[in-house]
Amino acid sequence: MNKLIFTFVIILLYSCTGKDTSSAAKTINTPPPTVVKAQTSTTVQRDTTPPRSNYIKDTSRPVKQINTSFPFDIPMTHSNRKNVNSENILAKNGKPTILLFWLTTCYPCRMELNAIKKIYPQWKEEADFNFVVISTDFQKNYENFVGRVEKENWAWDTFHDTHREFRKVLPGALNGLPQTFVFDKNGEIAYHKRKYSSGDEHKLFDVVKELASK
């Protein structure tokens, strides 16, 4: 009987404490969830345009494929845009032939051509000869060549060395312009001048007159 009363008192006291010992009532300090930011993929656009090359393509033939004797067989383009060949333009006709090579960007070339332009009519009255002026400009400057010829309105025929092949068949490889060659009636080089100094045009014509008189 006493044990029963004692057990009852213990249960009554324990229930009056007001404490909830269940696991559900316990407070668990849980850290806040970690927020992971999604990484955004950035697409980098690359310029796929091929870089422009500073190199100029050489379209000339190997020397062994070119006729290296006057009048050669070199493709040329007239200032009127017609394609011709040196073997037809520089035909041997019993007259001396002047070949003058120039560049549109060459100031000494401009000086020499201006000097000849002033006295060319007199030259034609005094001697019978062929006069052919050939530009060695790169193909990209062809339009500049045409524009220059149209502006100057020269009294002689002017051509463009289409593939820049004359440098492969003439002495000195046309290194340094202007350059002037005089071929005699047999197609042999009788005179060669590099660059220009005032008065050179008179020396040139003296050679031409002498050759024309033979």
Interval 130-155: pLDDT, tens: 999 999 999 999 999 999 999 999 99
Instruction: Please determine, for residue 102, whether its predicted confidence score (pLDDT) is greater than 50.
Output: yes
Buried b (16+ CB within 10 A) or exposed e, 45-65: eeeeeeeeeeeeeeebeeeee
What pLDDT score does 58 carry? 93
User: Which architecture does CATH list for 63-212?
Assistant: 3-Layer(aba) Sandwich (3.40)
Q: At what angle do helices 200-212 and 107-126 cross, to 10 degrees?
A: 40
Please tell me what DSSP assigns to residue 80. T
For residue 183, the cross-strand partners are 97, 189
Interior CA angle at 160 toward 155 and 164, to 5°? 145
Mean pLDDT of the chain: 84
**pTM, full prediction:** 0.74
